[in-house]
Chain A
């Protein structure tokens, strides 16, 4: 989840301020990325009210590198940049690089996807509960939907197989790394099989009654973590953090993690320094500290966001998460990361995505005709892109 990077939870601010008595760090933590982004855009346009370090979601990055390169500091020109960026996953750095070779953000987390599930609910429906056997239920997302049919056949009354239509489409559309735009930046969502296949599968799952009628990141969905609404959900690494936060201590041991069909990434963020910042040197120092191998390792262990710094990735490969029944999440996420396709991000990706996710949710929640919903999504995207 974009809202929280977990720096405070991992004690990094206190640590940094103890070493640098002249620096005082204040964090404001927005819960909703789109509200945060709108506010940031307004401030960038007015060139005021900006923090010394601003977070940027990977979905916005193309917009930043292509349209707002002059608003952010080119980090590649700063002290120790070569050495610093050398530590990161190359594609993570590549996404933040402009056509002129300026690097506008330091990588924080990435979002390799697994499936989170509740063993007790699978057991009640007569399905296996061991994470290896669960993962063996599916080679593809279509198998995952088939497993959902098996679950629904014997499921406890009033429960679902997956948490939301949107969560499924997001996960299942990531297999090729190219979702809504192609490498030249053109919108291709309506012809891209990665998206259309995920859509069709989601419609099948909805027809099978296995999709809970919830919208992700709404209060109702947040509450669902403390009850047995659904048995599984697609989990980018940051989602594990989210589940811990929402389920609280009572959720300890109720969840487990199995490998997802295929290897895909969802989400992840960057830290950038606005040109308007008055403390650029200090901000760069702090940015390096917050994204260093050691810091990212701590964040992963305390808060769960998966690192993009390769030093941190190898340092946590043995990590087991006590909350998720000691699942070897370090090793599982690393495997996804090593096999993941390269990411393609376009300027209008988040616009296209939100229209498509709204549309599939309206099929799941209101019973909108899928063909109608698909064309509504098209109209919404056309209207937004202008």
Chain B
């Protein structure tokens, strides 16, 4: 159907709404409605046995949450796990993307290979990693002990178990981020590198001074994506040790995340209202972190724009009256 023949049928605008309708409906059903519903439930003492039958308790769940040591523990774990997973993950992805950006033999093979971990199921990956990290039977400890190093308690040690879980997240997401970076890198004009080459800049120097500034936008994007992902970390810690302790994030909750704690309160302890309060608080925290991130980005951009402007003004002023102009600016 050609659009200019449309006068008799639907107007173009109406047609647009029609195309959007499925998404909007899905969003209302699976996005907005659950959001509002969980906000409502978080103000009640609803139990899983009877999700709509809770009594209104106002902000009681939220005040209880702030006094709840396990909530703070989960929040702390979520933040530390997030840092442990996101930092290395993005750095490694940058390096890998940079390597893939060179002319390589079998380029396509490497690019596909790097995304394979992302395509595996989280559950399968976690189960395999938990075997690798198994205290008595695991390959990792086997390797450490053959080197004469002491075996590490990958499951009950707080730091060690968080490192182990962060490594699963990193393993899965490096390829995904690397491909995003690679796409951004391909858009950088080769002339810049050629010019740098002529000036005698090393590959590392080019990476720092050309590649990273040029893909800054993509880096910000991946930081935001991984932060959201990190706040919702769930399956890896749930399945890491498996068995009855999965939900509490290890014996002493050493890696219980916010999402796990929500699941435990809502589904294991049947406290749906309280679980919803945790979910909603997590959402607010994500929004706060995102807002802070955007503010930082804007601030950074404003600063660098200001620098460029000042540099330009300085340059032109310096050309005409070197000394006094500088004093004026100061």
Contact = CB atoms under 8 A, between A and B. Distances in A.
A215 B51 CA distance: 33
Nearest to B251: A362
Nearest to A212: B136
Interface string A7-41: 00000000000000000000000001010011001
Contacts of A357: 244
Interface stretch (A50-58, A240-248, A286-294, A378-386): A378-386
A41 B130 CA distance: 28
A45 B51 contact: yes
Given A351-B269, A368-B252, A376-B252, A215 B245 contact: yes
Nearest to B135: A220
Interface size class, chain A: 35 or more
Interface in B229-285: 241-248, 251-252, 263-265, 267-271, 274
A218 B269 contact: no
Interface string A195-224: 000000000000000000101111111010
Contacts of A63: 49
B269 A386 contact: yes
A216 B244 CA distance: 8
Contacts of B47: 67
Contacts of B241: 215, 218
Contacts of B267: 38, 41-42
Chain A's interface: helix, strand, loop or mixed, by majority? helix
A384 B263 CA distance: 12
A77 interface: no
A192 interface: no
Nearest to A71: B49
Nearest to B127: A219
A380 B137 contact: no
Contacts of B83: none
Contacts of B248: 354, 358, 380
B274 A386 contact: yes
A108 interface: no
Nearest to B49: A67
Contacts of A221: 243
A220 B244 contact: no
B257 to A, nearest CB: 16
Contacts of B242: 32, 218-219
B221 to A, nearest CB: 35
B146 interface: no
10 contacts: A34-B247, A42-B48, A44-B49, A215-B244, A218-B243, A220-B136, A351-B268, A362-B156, A366-B156, A386-B45
10 closest A-B pairs by CB: A218-B243, A38-B267, A384-B269, A362-B251, A217-B243, A41-B48, A366-B156, A362-B252, A365-B156, A45-B51
Given A34-B244, A219-B242, A220-B135, 10 more contacts: A32-B244, A38-B267, A67-B49, A218-B241, A219-B127, A361-B251, A365-B155, A365-B156, A384-B264, A386-B271
